[in-house]
Chain A
């Protein structure tokens, strides 16, 4: 870790409250390749953290380790102070000790994927009520009402009875964001939400994400959208080769890149 990280960490608001997400020394290998080499991160309520990095820097893997879509080799993840318990599997690798706990925590961490991943056999409305009714066990009528309101909010209410494959990418991603919101999640995880979209559809998705940031949602956003990172997020984290290269306040980071790697990274985007 460079000196900049320590400085940035000190500058971050360190209120006494429990962090919404706290990740410590996360490590993960795929075969011989070490993708995460000890990553730590803290997100407080209301934080919007943009996680930047070139492809292969480990940013998506890190995000997927938080809700255990990938199982980290070591390190700890806490959600709202609750440690996700791990145990040694028979093959010697770490695995979740209590799958019920993981499922309960996942339900609090709604994820938005690069390729939307809406359930294609359900209509948009069904996509929004499936997990709240079955996982959170909330009454269906209440879920339907909320789902319709959310679809109005992201501007695709009139598409509520469509099947996902019949909609544009931008509409699907907005539906996917609405599906995430329907969980009333503590933290939202965005995994490159605009990377699979045609350029003219990126704006409609970013607008929704910006409005979520403005209403104080806690968000971790893996993205290549520099304008979102700079103008919307409250913190920027730059990963380089599986390590945290630098963390800081966005305007400051972009105005005065703290490391040569980050400078190089944003220079490539401004070309």
Chain B
């Protein structure tokens, strides 16, 4: 009985805390997390396709650059990359600004936290997306590319009409994975001060001393975000692979 009463107390405290404003803050946290993830995915898509193209190039130098990129950014801890971009970026910006005299010699020019964060996460996401795009390109039926050449399509037309649609189709499942990774990586940029879900949960936990409550709630919210994305990607996959599945 005592246990039940205790639980009841816990629940009502939780309710009070969430209603007192932490709930709204957590919702804002979700919005920022999604914003960071989407922007990082987009940066990663641009970088990833360039890196994939470099890795597939017949030029040795480009291949080396591509290989180095994926090796470094998949091989280093994500947190290190984020520190490097945020604090390292701040150091570089400050140095440049001081030497041009646009700030005083003791002032500091901070890397904008959102920008530093999404650049770092986007670059990491790009390393994984590059692998997805490269694999998808290699899975394209060679004969279809040959047919595109035989029908007089220029490199640009082949890219636009055959390679991009087929790579996207083949890449959807892999991109779904990268999306999940990127959502989780977005939690790390709380260290730069972006008020995304992780930072908000942290703040709430520290100021109310209800760590168990807020980390659990944040954990559930992350799980909701990652599990909602699964059926969305499955639906996208069904759509993009419609030419391979039997019509009903």
Chain A contacts for B144, CB-based, 8 A: 117-120
Q: B5 within 8 Å of A by Cβ?
A: no
Do A134 and B162 touch across chains, with their CB atoms under 8 A apart? no
Query: Which are the 5 A-B pairs with shortest beta-carbon distances?
Result: A107-B152, A163-B243, A117-B143, A117-B147, A131-B151
Residues of B in contact with A (beta carbons under 8 Å apart): 141, 143-144, 146-154, 157, 161-162, 165-166, 169, 242-244, 246-247
User: Chain B residue with minimal CB distance to A106?
Assistant: B152
Total CB contacts across the A-B interface at under 8 A: 77
Do A119 and B162 touch across chains, with their CB atoms under 8 A apart? yes
Q: How far is the CA of A107 from the CA of B244 in the complex (A)?
A: 28
Do A135 and B242 touch across chains, with their CB atoms under 8 A apart? no
Q: A228 within 8 Å of B by Cβ?
A: no
With A131-B151, A163-B242 known, 19 other A-B pairs at CB within 8 A are A69-B146, A69-B150, A99-B154, A105-B152, A106-B150, A109-B150, A110-B150, A110-B151, A113-B146, A117-B141, A120-B243, A121-B166, A122-B243, A130-B151, A130-B161, A134-B157, A134-B161, A179-B151, A183-B151
Do B143 and A113 touch across chains, with their CB atoms under 8 A apart? yes
User: Chain A residue with minimal CB distance to B153?
Assistant: A135
Chain B contacts for A131, CB-based, 8 A: 151-153
Do B147 and A111 touch across chains, with their CB atoms under 8 A apart? yes
- Tell me the smallest distance from the CB of A58 to a CB of chain B, in Å: 18
Q: How far is the CA of A179 from the CA of B153 in the complex (A)?
A: 14
Interface residues of A in 118-150 (CB under 8 A from B): 118-122, 130-131, 134-136
User: Chain B residue with minimal CB distance to A162?
Assistant: B247
Chain B contacts for A135, CB-based, 8 A: 151-153, 157
Residues of A in contact with B (beta carbons under 8 Å apart): 67, 69, 99-100, 103-107, 109-111, 113, 115-122, 130-131, 134-136, 162-166, 179, 183
Do B151 and A69 touch across chains, with their CB atoms under 8 A apart? no
Q: How far is the CA of A229 from the CA of B216 in the complex (A)?
A: 76
Chain B contacts for A163, CB-based, 8 A: 242-244
User: Chain A residue with minimal CB distance to B143?
Assistant: A117
Given contacts A111-B150, A113-B143, A118-B144, contact A165 B243 (CB under 8 A): yes
- Tell me the smallest distance from the CB of A171 to a CB of chain B, in Å: 14
Do B247 and A103 touch across chains, with their CB atoms under 8 A apart? no
Q: How far is the CA of A130 from the CA of B165 in the complex (A)?
A: 13
User: Chain B residue with minimal CB distance to A183?
Assistant: B151
- Tell me the smallest distance from the CB of B248 to a CB of chain A, in Å: 11
Do A119 and B150 touch across chains, with their CB atoms under 8 A apart? no
- Residue of B146, B151, B153 most packed against chain A (CB within 10 A): B151
A-B contact pairs, 24 of them (CB 8 A): A67-B150, A69-B146, A100-B154, A103-B154, A105-B152, A106-B152, A107-B152, A110-B150, A113-B150, A116-B143, A117-B141, A117-B143, A119-B148, A120-B141, A120-B166, A120-B243, A121-B165, A122-B243, A134-B153, A134-B161, A135-B152, A163-B242, A164-B243, A183-B151
Do B147 and A121 touch across chains, with their CB atoms under 8 A apart? no
Q: How far is the CA of A259 from the CA of B148 in the complex (A)?
A: 39
